[in-house]
Amino acid sequence: MSKPISTDSQLAALKLESGQKERFIPIKGKERLFVRLRPIKNGFSKTWVYRYTFAAKQRKYIIGDYPDIGLAGVGDIWQELNSLVAQGVDLNEHKKQKAKQQKRESENKFSLVCDKWADTQNWSANTTIRRQRDLEIFKAWFADTPISQISTDDIIELLKDIEDKYRQRDNPELPSDKASRCRGRLISLFSWATLHGYCKTNPAEPIANAKSSHVLKQVKYGHRPALVKPDEFSRLLADIFKDTTMQPDTRHNMLLLAYTGVRNGDIREMKWADIDLEAGKWELTPKKSGSSSDIRMIEKMTVPLSRQVIAILQERQKFTGGKKYVFAKDNQTGLISENATNTALKRMGYQDRHCSHGFRAAAKTILMSELDYNDMITEMVLGHKVKGGDNPYLRGDLYKRRCELMQTWADYIDDLAAGKDTAKYKGIYRENPAEVFKVLLQMLGRDELIRLLS
């Protein structure tokens, strides 16, 4: 057994004897601690080794090399190892688990987990760009914080900060719905992270279970402008048809808004794969399906295509027939701008009088007030959930009725824009009272209808 050493000078002077392959020198006053010497290419290495017994077997624990760890530094480590051994810990297994934990924590950084979650989302190209803006906000806030260390309060603090920073364009005193939308994304992100073992518990769960108003201020937007009187709407339509400066894609976008009553976001992301021109229908999942707003959007929607809409889509095929989207563009988003129609309406002099969303309001109002279509079928045109609308026994009849409605509406729009007499459309639906009674029965149910009539 070599003589114990106790100073750095003694450590520095240690050497291997000729022919020795390994040598252990004990450290004075530190039981079980040794410095091990081994030959290397340009001399020999000096490594700190701690010997201990676990499960009745002698084991060695490698601390590190000298002089990376000096005599003073190894003393602190030696005390820690003594404490662990006294607790019955296997030092080598402890080291492995600690390394795994460090690896988990390095992979557990919020920014990395956030990106992994984003990779699982089946977003369109345009949606991905918008979502990434939100994710950059999250990552700037939490950065490399281990996601398992993020609390409910931390998430609420982030949402409050977003609420304070993002205000309504037309009324900066009020918050926009940015924080509310980010709330939903954070709930989804943390739910996924918990499911995949990045979090032991889900800190976003209390936020998901609470009403949005318990976390954030209720968002209220002003009424979006819409021309819903036939004479005003007819002038707007005439201006659209005679405008010679409007780009073809903007004109087509705006006309589809008028003819279909579908949201602008859904028209912008209309895919050729979802359209059957021969059958005259468009299958889509509305962007606001499952919305948390007061009006619930249906999950899947079939839009009957009028002759006018089919003609527009056939024209669009000349521009984008070989691409994924009907309104594909060679720009950052790959789609026509979401502000294209509103910008055109503003240029035409309709700012604060009509907007892209206003075509839905116009369709709903005029279909009911002028053409006398009932509330149920007009709600279905807008993609809103209605009682009886998803009844499999009624779906066929309702779709047939919607096909008739969409063609009638398109013909009405054309006549209105051309300044023709539209009296023939007035009460077109009311002339068949049996149909009205049938729809009321479908909407309300037998008992409720009897109660109202009694």
Which of 43, 77, 103 finishes a domain?
Answer: 103
Asked if residue 265 belongs to a domain, the reply is: yes
Looking at the structure, do residues 299 and 393 belong to the same domain, yes or no? yes
Looking at the structure, do residues 172 and 254 belong to the same domain, yes or no? no
Domain at 141, CATH number: 1.10.150.130
Comparing C-alpha atoms, which of 268, 310, 256, 302 is closest to residue 282?
302
Looking at the structure, do residues 289 and 429 belong to the same domain, yes or no? yes
For residues 320 and 334, give the distance between their C-alpha atoms in angstroms, rounded to a whole number.
12
- Burial-class residue 411 by CB neighbours within 10 Å (0-12, 13-18, 19+): middle
DSSP class per residue in 5-37 = B-SHHHHHH--PPTT-S-EEEEBTT-TTEEEEE
- Note whether 160 and 186 are within 8 A (CB): no
Range of the domain at 418: 230-453
Residue 290 pLDDT > 50, yes or no?
no
Domain at 357, CATH number: 1.10.443.10
Residue 185's CB is within 10 A of a number of other CB atoms, namely 18
Looking at the structure, do residues 52 and 140 belong to the same domain, yes or no? no
For residues 363 and 259, give the distance between their C-alpha atoms in angstroms, rounded to a whole number.
8
Residue 262 pLDDT > 70, yes or no?
yes
Which of 103, 121, 156 finishes a domain?
Answer: 103
**pTM for the predicted model, two decimal places:** 0.54
pLDDT by residue (tens digit) across 177-215?
899 989 999 999 999 999 998 998 999 999 998 887 888
What average pLDDT does range 58-78 have in this prediction?
A: 93
Looking at the structure, do residues 344 and 444 belong to the same domain, yes or no? yes
pLDDT confidence band for 155 (50 / 70 / 90): very high
Looking at the structure, do residues 284 and 171 belong to the same domain, yes or no? no
Comparing C-alpha atoms, which of 270, 297, 312 is closest to residue 384?
297
Give strand pairing partners of 62.
Answer: 49
**Least confident stretch, 57-71, 171-185, 370-384, 420-434:** 420-434
Q: Which residues contact 363 (CB under 8 A, 6 or more apart)?
A: 258, 261, 378, 381, 382, 409
pLDDT by residue (tens digit) across 325-384?
999 998 767 899 888 999 999 999 998 899 999 999 999 999 888 888 877 778 877 776
Looking at the structure, do residues 237 and 358 belong to the same domain, yes or no? yes
- Note whether 286 and 235 are within 8 A (CB): no
Which of 68, 103, 138 finishes a domain?
Answer: 103
For residues 406 and 370, give the distance between their C-alpha atoms in angstroms, rounded to a whole number.
14
Q: Per the structure, how many domains does the chain have? A: 3
Asked if residue 1 belongs to a domain, the reply is: no
Asked if residue 356 belongs to a domain, the reply is: yes
Mean pLDDT across the chain: 86
- Of residues 78 and 130, more confidence is placed in 78
Residue 294 pLDDT > 60, yes or no?
no
Tokens matching residue 370:
């002028």
Asked if residue 313 belongs to a domain, the reply is: yes
Asked if residue 225 belongs to a domain, the reply is: no
- Note whether 326 and 316 are within 8 A (CB): yes
For residues 117 and 77, give the distance between their C-alpha atoms in angstroms, rounded to a whole number.
40
pLDDT of residue 425: 87
Asked if residue 303 belongs to a domain, the reply is: yes
DSSP class per residue in 412-450 = HHHHHHHT---GGGTTTTTT-HHHHHHHHHHHH-HHHHH
Looking at the structure, do residues 255 and 335 belong to the same domain, yes or no? yes
pLDDT confidence band for 389 (50 / 70 / 90): very low
Looking at the structure, do residues 404 and 284 belong to the same domain, yes or no? yes
Asked if residue 433 belongs to a domain, the reply is: yes
pLDDT by residue (tens digit) across 112-147?
999 999 999 988 777 888 899 999 999 999 999 999
Looking at the structure, do residues 89 and 122 belong to the same domain, yes or no? no
Looking at the structure, do residues 353 and 418 belong to the same domain, yes or no? yes
pLDDT of residue 373: 81
**Residues 115, 120, 124, 127: what is their CA dihedral angle, to the nearest 10 degrees?**
-40
Q: 3-class secondary structure for 55-120?
A: CCEEEEEEEEEECCCCHHHHHHHHHHHHHHHHCCCCHHHHHHHHHHHHHHHHHCEHHHHHHHHHHC
Looking at the structure, do residues 93 and 115 belong to the same domain, yes or no? no
Asked if residue 31 belongs to a domain, the reply is: yes
pLDDT of residue 66: 93
Residue 279 pLDDT > 80, yes or no?
yes
Domain at 12, CATH number: 3.30.160.390
DSSP 351: T
Q: Cα angle vertex 256, ends 252, 260, to 5°? A: 170
